[in-house]
Amino acid sequence: MNKDTVVSDSQNWDIVITGNNSGTKVNLKELWRYRDLLSLFVKRDVITVYKQTILGPIWFVIQPILTTITYMVVFGNIANIGTDGVPMILFYLIGITLWGYFSDTLNITSKTFTENAGIFGKVYFPRLILPLSKVASGLLKFAIQFMLFFVAWLYFWIYKKAIHPNIYILITPLLVGLLALMSLGFGILITSMTTKYRDMVFLITFGVQLMMYATPVIYPFSKLASSKWRIYVLLNPLTSIFEAFKYAFIGKGFFSPFWLVYSLVFTLMILVVGVITFNKVEKRFVDTV
């Protein structure tokens, strides 16, 4: 076969199945073709979670309400950590809502391969569809929980006049997007690294819990002003996102364009590394999972 036929040959085929790991590019065209599957996965997640419950989606808001009350009692009153003068309900509610979205999405996407081995072993579709659908269904849950925060926020802003939101509220979609992409990036990286050797799984489950304490969820960042830990907490890419959120909505918080850009770059990097690793692993994981 001469060179010309090889070239025309490769152009003719729609799919080439090989064991070569060289293909690191994401097949966006194919992802797009399966967009209906993505939306159906989201729909399935949303409607199956609370099937056969009486309260249904109300459970989405009961969780953060109960958690907020617990935090108010434990961290606010017993431990007396303080909230930088922000009404306690608002302070904990925003932290819990943001953290909940990040950790839920991370936890579920980091099990993509192991939990879906059955379906992956039987049929092909772009594997990335599944973690993407988890990010999207998590976003729906987040939106409902955010409405709860929104109501409390309106109350404290308009009725109580206790907080001072500002124009940075407009960057909310960017902040949420960063959270979504970061949890996705971490999640698919972890699931790719734990298909064969599961050791990491043990680390991840409590690691995510511990990471909450390295993020200003239950304490205000201002409390670290003169602490040697301040820089470490800042290096946590979640910190600037959480703080920007608080600053925009409540007027109290640490807003730094520099650290936001740091988070953005970090997110993009983890996403790229995650997608590349995921693409490599998805071809063969069925054999080792």
Partner 1 sequence: MDKNIVIKADNISKQYRLGQVGTGTLSHDLKRWWAIARGKEDPYLKIGMENDRTKKISSDYAWALKDISFDVKQGDTLGIIGKNGAGKSTLLKLLSRVTTPTIGSIKVKGRIASLLEVGTGFHPELTGKENIYMNGAILGMTKKEISSKFDEIVDFAGVELYINTPVKRYSSGMYVRLAFAVAAHLEPEILIVDEVLAVGDAEFQKKCLGKMGDVATDGRTIIFVSHNMQAVQTLCKSTLYLRSGNVADAGETSKVINNYLSKEVSNCLLKEWKDTDAPGNETITMLRARVIPQLANEIDPITVATEIDVEFDFTLNVSDLYLNLSLFLYSASGNCIFNVGSGAKALSKGKHTSRLKIPGRLLNDGIYTISLLFVKNTTTHVLKIDDVLTFEVFDENRDGSWFGKWEGAIRPSLDFSLT
At position 194, the amino acid (one-letter code) is T
Among residues 54, 78, 123, 210, which is the contact residue for partner 1, using CB under 8 A?
123
Cα angle vertex 185, ends 183, 189, to 5°? 115
Among residues 24, 27, 47, 213, which is the contact residue for partner 1, using CB under 8 A?
47
Question: Is residue 167 close enough to count as binding partner 1 by CB under 8 A?
Answer: no
Residues 182, 135: Cα–Cα separation, whole Å: 10
Q: In the bound complex, what is the minimum distance in angstroms from residue 137's beta carbon to partner 1?
A: 14
Q: What's 68-102 look like in SS3? A: HHHHHHHHHHHCCCCCCCCCHHHHHHHHHHHHHHH
Nearest to 289 by CA among 124, 133, 116, 122: 116
Q: In the bound complex, what is the minimum distance in angstroms from residue 3's beta carbon to partner 1?
A: 14
Q: Which stretch binds partner 1 (CB under 8 A): 13-21, 214-222, 226-234, 243-251?
A: 13-21
Question: Is residue 255 close enough to count as binding partner 1 by CB under 8 A?
Answer: no
Q: Both tokens of residue 133? A: 């659908």
> Site residues for partner 1, window 188-207 (CB under 8 A)?
196-197
User: For partner 1, which is the closer residue by CB, 13 or 229?
Assistant: 13
> Which residue's entry shows tokens 């925009």?
248
Contact residues toward partner 1 (CB under 8 A) are 5, 9, 12-19, 33-34, 36-37, 39-40, 43-44, 47-48, 51-52, 119-125, 196-197, 283-284, 286-288
